[in-house]
Amino acid sequence: MKQANANGKSVLVPETLLIVDDEAGIRKVLHLRLSREGYRCKEAATAEKALDILAASPIALVVLDIRLPDKPGTELLPEIKSGYPDTAVVMATVVSKVSVATQCLQQGADDYICKPFDLDEVPLSVRRALEKRALRLKIKEYQQNLEEKVEEQTLEISNIFLGAIEALASALEAKDRYTGGHSRRVSEIALALGTELGLSATDLQDLRWGSLLHDVGKIAVDQLIQNKPGSLTSEEYEHIMIHTHVGADIVRPVVNERITQMIEHHHDHYDGYGLNQVVAGKDIPLGARILAVADAFDALTSDRPYRPAISREEALEEIKRCIGTQFDPVVVDAFLKIISRGSEGHARDYQDRNVATSKLSRD
């Protein structure tokens, strides 16, 4: 965090964290480990004490245990998010309670860590949560600034801010050797598809932002699950899929509803049988149906931790196999026409490239 000193210059001030756990030994271990990372740490053994500390001074992040003597952490979490929306929360739970952790993420927690703690993983989780908090604060700052600007400046400011979100998403993506450049490649394919389908300039601009930002919600996904080498459990798969809703929530303050709907529905299946799906067929936004094909093709022709790559031809066969079930037949038809002409953004790259892929639905 930056603050101005007596000379008016910005100086870095350590973020203040609050560790909430009824076991003194655990609080001490976490306090020492996070202090070595440069954070200021405070401690609370109960929910009541935690709320007192939050009321007394700004807290950037709370490490919150699920079990507390006076109130479960799952009940304290919504109180913190309601009363202190600028405070990030990392839940601490036992390994066997992945479903509880996923529920907490859906209720507003930024990440979770499992007991017994991996003391190398704890600072990484805290850093991820603080990065997400920084993004929220930028959005809040943008909203405040936007209200002060005249109407003709809105589009320019929105593009600047969306560019900042895109840069953050790209930076997070680049940290993972399996997904680097994924969103830009998806955007190029999606725009080629949109052009083929006759979308207007306005709709193409929406499609551009929707495709560039479609995976921004993965900032909330546990990287250990995302990069798991083997098959996912149903709970783990459901956890990964929260990125569609988180991503839509992140960008909703600064984009129109068409873009948020693209992001929220880009994993919907055309036949309506996707996870927790509420719309089907042509009721799925066209932008989301376009993204589904573009996203799948890049995933199928890119390395993933859980399987090696398939060829371009194999990827096309897999997409054709899923016509009418996962994909809109009209969109796939347009995609095959583009491929046959070699006119999608990375056609030449994909013709010679044999990087890997597996299940469409996981990517």
Q: Is the dihedral of CA 315, 321, 323, 324 positive or negative?
A: negative
List the domain boundaries for the chain: 2-134, 161-352
Please tell me the predicted confidence (pLDDT) of residue 163. Answer: 74
Question: What is the value of pTM for the model shown?
Answer: 0.60
Alpha helical stretches, state H, 96-233: 98-106, 121-148, 154-174, 182-196, 201-212, 223-226
Please tell me the predicted confidence (pLDDT) of residue 177. Answer: 55
Alpha-carbon distances of 246 from 105, 108, 217, rounded to whole Å:
9, 9, 5
* Per-position pLDDT tens, the chain of length 363: 545 444 555 556 789 999 999 999 999 999 999 999 999 999 999 999 999 999 999 999 999 999 899 999 999 999 999 999 999 999 998 766 667 777 888 888 999 888 888 999 999 999 999 998 998 888 888 877 766 665 566 667 667 777 777 776 666 666 655 566 788 899 999 999 999 999 999 999 999 999 999 988 888 888 788 778 888 888 988 998 999 999 999 888 888 999 999 999 999 999 999 988 999 999 999 999 999 999 999 989 887 776 777 899 999 999 999 999 999 999 999 999 999 887 544 433 433 333 323 344 455
Please tell me the predicted confidence (pLDDT) of residue 220. Answer: 85
Query: 181-201 burial, b if ≥16 CB within 10 A, otherwise e?
Result: ebbbbbbbbbbbbbebbebee
The SS3 of residue 111 is strand
CATH of domain 161-352: 1.10.3210.10
Q: Token pair of 19, please?
A: 């560790």
Nearest to 62 by CA among 103, 15, 99: 15
Peptide bond between residue 123 and the one before it cis (omega within 30 degrees of 0) = no
Nearest to 241 by CA among 221, 213, 257: 221
Q: What are phi and psi of 328, to 5 degrees?
A: -70, 125
Q: What's domain 2-134's superfamily in CATH?
A: Response regulator (3.40.50.2300)
